[in-house]
Amino acid sequence: MNIKISLLGLIEILSALSIGIFILSITYQGVRYLGRKRYDIQSNNLAYSIFTAAVLFSVGYMISGAIQPMISLFRLLAAKENDSITLAMSFVGHGAVYIALAFAAGVVICFSGIAIYTFLTPLDEFRELKNNNLGVAVIVGTIMIVLSMLTRDGVSLLIESLIPYPEQFPG
């Protein structure tokens, strides 16, 4: 059994659970706060719940794009580092940065996409969500999910560009 790969698997599972729950909780609280404070949307509103679920899915999907760059980084670090504790700490530190970047990208993409969509349509989507319009909730939620699907690979590539790959042909 390869100890370094086992360590990677264990760290990935534990970090995905802990960081995933933490980030989704922050996202949920933020969306709930936005709905209550800015739009006076009550917690028993099904349309806003659908919207919130779409935001959570989109952000989670965007964060999942950080996994492959983290695995690439781990393989590079494992080739250089012999101590498992140092390797784990380095991986967790870099992974936290990658996940934070993916989280920020997910939030920015979701809300800028909705802001642009809301600007382009004559409908006030958030008023419709407040009025519990399920059709608007499904459309807006779908737009966020599709935007996250279309942009995830680009965000993943930007995160991967941060990996300190060795130069193939030093100049």
From CA 115, how far away is CA 24, in angstroms rounded? 21
Total domain count, the chain: 1
Query: pTM value?
Result: 0.87
| Mean pLDDT computed over 110-123 | 92
Q: Assess if residue 95 is contained within a domain.
A: yes
For the chain, give percent helix, strand, coil, nearest 5.
80, 0, 20
Does residue 171 form part of some domain?
no
The answer to the question of residue 166 being in a domain is no
Work out the number of other CB atoms within 10 angstroms of the CB of residue 115.
Answer: 10
d(CA 57, CA 102): 13
Residue length of the chain: 171
- Dig out the tokens for 30 from the structure: 């933020």
Whether 170 has a pLDDT exceeding 70, the answer reads: no
Nearest C-alpha neighbor of 11 from the set 103, 91, 98, 99: 91
Please give the residue range of the domain that contains residue 91: 3-160
Yes or no: say if 84 and 7 are a contact pair by the CB < 8 Å rule.
yes
pLDDT per residue as tens digits for the range 35-94 = 999 999 988 999 999 999 999 999 999 999 998 888 888 888 877 777 778 877 888 888
Is residue 170 in some structural domain?
no
Q: Which two tokens stand for residue 86?
A: 């140092």
Which DSSP state fits 171? Answer: -
